[in-house]
Structure 1
Amino acid sequence: MFQRLPGIYKSIWKRAVNRETITYGIAGALTTLVNYAAYYIFCNRIGIENLIANIIAWIIAVIFAYIINDIWVFKAQMSGIQSEFIKVIKFFGARLFSLIVEEAGLFLFVDILSWNNLVVKAALAVIVIILNYFFSKLYIFNKRSIEI
């Protein structure tokens, strides 16, 4: 397959498809499943208001995502309590941005336009996964940004 691709495409393919992006995709899918399941239970089964259920699901999913991304995807090494604390703050801060995006989308499409909350939540998950990958790769688990 690679023999037929011109050099530029090989380079793009190797950068886009590697252990890190594949494991991030799996971790993102698992995190999305945790988020979606928690949201479904809190919103559709227990009856907690849409945006509050999303925040609770977000907290659960972000804790799960931090652990799986730190250990499995980016294979970050513990480099001291201060560095680890900074990494946790950066991770939650970046995820807070994606929570705001998700909350705005849920508010607009579910609360105002009355679209199905589970369909909207699933569509927003795609946007959130992409945002979170770039924040994780470039800002949080970037080896240069961890060093103090």
Structure 2
Amino acid sequence: MKLYTRFRNELEKRKLWEVFIYLFFGGLTTVVNFIAFFIARDLLHLSLVPSNTISWLAAVLFAFVTNKIWVFHSRTETAGELAVEFGKFIFYRLLSYAIDMGMMLLLVNIVHLNDFWAKMITQIFVVVANYLFSKLFIFKGRTETNVNGVKDEKR
């Protein structure tokens, strides 16, 4: 636990903890996306668009929970606040879905890249876009407790 605390404190000093934890959970979200995509594509034999849509839905639900709880420490006090936050999340994820789908169609159908490499390249752009959307527009005005138990007002 000491190693974790030192690691986190060092990243917090450099204001990189949020980026690190986002990338960690973003990596897990990408794994969810890949698994769902290839299950739909290879096991269920669905075409590109339905497979990509299913993988997007699975990843969005996973990402909302992890981003809300562990990355941005967002607290909503009412069901209405939660609904607004989730609505914003879905709206901006739809924008990133358009990026994802457009790039997948371009890379697979026009560039003739295989599914795996197209998905890898696409996910880099999607992760960056999603971080910016989440930080700037979705999970705003939160209070975070750092490793030392001190409340840190964010934005």
Coarse TM-score class (shorter-chain normalised) = 0.7 to 0.9
2:86 corresponds in structure 1 to 88
Alignment size in residue pairs? 130
Residue 140 of structure 2 corresponds to residue 142 of structure 1: yes
Write the letter of the residue equivalent to 1:84: L
How far is 1:40 from its partner?
1.1
What's the C-alpha RMSD, in Å, of the aligned pairs? 1.4
**TM-score (norm: length of structure 1):** 0.83
2:126 corresponds in structure 1 to 128
Write the letter of the residue equivalent to 1:56: I
CA contact (8 A) 1:51 1:106 kept: no
Measured in 2, the distance between the counterparts of 1:122 and 1:40 equals: 13
2:114 corresponds in structure 1 to 116
- Write 1 or 2 for the structure with the bigger share of helix: 1
1:65 corresponds in structure 2 to 63
Write the letter of the residue equivalent to 1:141: F
Measured in 1, the distance between the counterparts of 2:137 and 2:77 equals: 16
Runs of 4 or more, structure 1, over 3 Å off, are none
From 103, 106, 111, give the equivalent of 1:105. 103
Identical aligned pairs, as a percentage?
32
Measured in 1, the distance between the counterparts of 2:118 and 2:29 equals: 17
How far is 1:122 from its partner?
0.7
Determine which structure has greater relative contact order: mean sequence separation of CA pairs < 8 Å that are 6+ residues apart, divided by chain length: 1
How far is 1:108 from its partner?
1.1
1:77 corresponds in structure 2 to 75
1:143 partner SS: coil
Unaligned 5+ runs, structure 2: 1-12, 143-155
Measured in 1, the distance between the counterparts of 2:37 and 2:128 equals: 20
